[in-house]
Structure 1
Amino acid sequence: MTYIATLDLNNADAATAATLNAVKAKIGIIPNLFATLAKSPTALNSLLGMNETIANGALSASEREIIALATSQANSCHYCVSAHTLLGKNAGLNAQQMLSARAGNGSETRAGAIAGFTKALVEQRGHVDPATLDQFKSAGLSEADLLEIIVNVVATTLTNYTNNVARTDIDFPVVPLQLAA
């Protein structure tokens, strides 16, 4: 059952309605996540601002989806795992690559390092030991990459926590949260 209901566009103030309509114009729908965050324009605008900045970073769309999938799995966010499975497909990831990312792995060195660092970062709450960090750097991740991954994890964690608290209705094709053993 939903704990924080979505904001009905008809009940939104003018600024929030304009923001939600801009989301709809850009992606074709207003996902329930954004309609939930709209209950707090500060929360909605914070996420949109971060996403805009992140999209202009050095990481590719598929790399950002690897981060989102690994973060969402580690935070047990069913909504975001489902959403980012569709977004990952749209970014060029195949089903196996997405499952690997969710598990903190990857078939390619860089993708595996990104997923592994993301998983370690979330599970260890930022306290990744230097030997592990050195392994990620030796796999080709620069210091700038590590910092950009952190920013992506922060944005995804915001959505994960929002959906986990709100119990947002999933409005994407639902995928199982549990990874196969």
Structure 2
Amino acid sequence: MPAITSSAFPEHTLETAPAAARRTMEAVAKKSGYLPSAVGRLATSPQLLDGFLKISAIFESTTLDPLSREVVIMTIATRNECHVCVAMHTAKLTALGADEALIAALRDAGAPPLSDERLQAVRQFTLDVLAAAGAVDDDSLGSFLAHGYTAQNALEVVLGIGAYTMSTLANRLTGAPIDAQIAAFA
């Protein structure tokens, strides 16, 4: 059976997108200053596009600090090999002033533990949640909590896993390319 290519997922513009996706696409373009290719492709399903943007905004409003959220996202992005998410979130980490060594380690799924023990705790907990389909053992949860995270944060990690599993899988399915605006971070 021949492989289905990304041609099954057109890169919609505001003019070609399904009507239900246009308002969302306009909001992304206004916020970003351009319309990301990934958004144009995800617009094929207005519900997926809207759902991802809503859940990612909710994740951004959690009590996890910005660097911890980005660790969750980059852990999912590298695990799922989503080059678009890795580039986008490398740009975000750079904007947050993250250390270059931290960014390099997060971009490498096989990297040794992060030098920042607290950020390593959230990275490891994210991987543990994925490996155990949520049924982490007491040691895993205890280690996460011992680094200053809370039970609420543990559930917020699950929220981030859900949001970014959705986007990484969708970006890979659609063959979303890296936009020129983030190419330097690829």
1:55 aligns with 2:60: yes
- Of 34, 47, 54, the residue aligned with 1:29 is 34
Q: Which amino acid aligns with 1:22?
A: A
Q: Deviations over 1:82-140 (max 9, x none)?
A: 22111111122122112333447332232111111112223443343222222222222
1:132 aligns with 2:158: no
Q: Secondary structure of 2:177's partner?
A: coil
- Structure 2: gaps spanning 5 or more residues: none
**Further displaced range: 25-34 or 12-21:** 12-21
Identity %: 27
Supply the distance in 1 between the matched residues of 2:184 and 2:128 (Cα, whole angstroms): 26
- Structure 1: gaps spanning 5 or more residues: 177-181
Cα RMSD (Å) of the superposition? 2.1
Q: Provide closer, same or farther for how the CA distance between residues 68 and 27 of structure 1 changes in structure 2, counting only shifts above 3 A.
A: same
Supply the distance in 1 between the matched residues of 2:131 and 2:34 (Cα, whole angstroms): 32
Matches within 5 A, 1:137-152: 137-152=145-160
- Aligned residue number for residue 95 of structure 1: 100
Q: Deviations over 1:7-66 (max 9, x none)?
A: 122112444222211111112122122111111111011011112212221122222111
Q: Secondary structure of 2:15's partner?
A: helix
Matched pairs, number:
176
Matches within 5 A, 1:1-181: 2-3=6-7, 4-102=9-107, 103=109, 105-171=113-179, 172-173=182-183
Supply the distance in 2 between the matched residues of 1:83 and 1:92 (Cα, whole angstroms): 15
TM-score, L = length of structure 1: 0.86
Q: Which amino acid aligns with 1:66?
A: V
Contact 2:72-2:126 at 8 Å conserved across structures: yes
Contact 2:18-2:43 at 8 Å conserved across structures: no
Once superposed, which parts of structure 1, at least 4 consecutive aligned residues long, lie more than 6 Å away? none
**Further displaced range: 92-101 or 110-119:** 92-101
- Aligned residue number for residue 179 of structure 1: none
Supply the distance in 2 between the matched residues of 1:9 and 1:149 (Cα, whole angstroms): 33
Q: Which amino acid aligns with 1:138?
A: A
TM-score, L = length of structure 2: 0.84
Contact 1:66-1:98 at 8 Å conserved across structures: no
Q: Which amino acid aligns with 1:173?
A: A
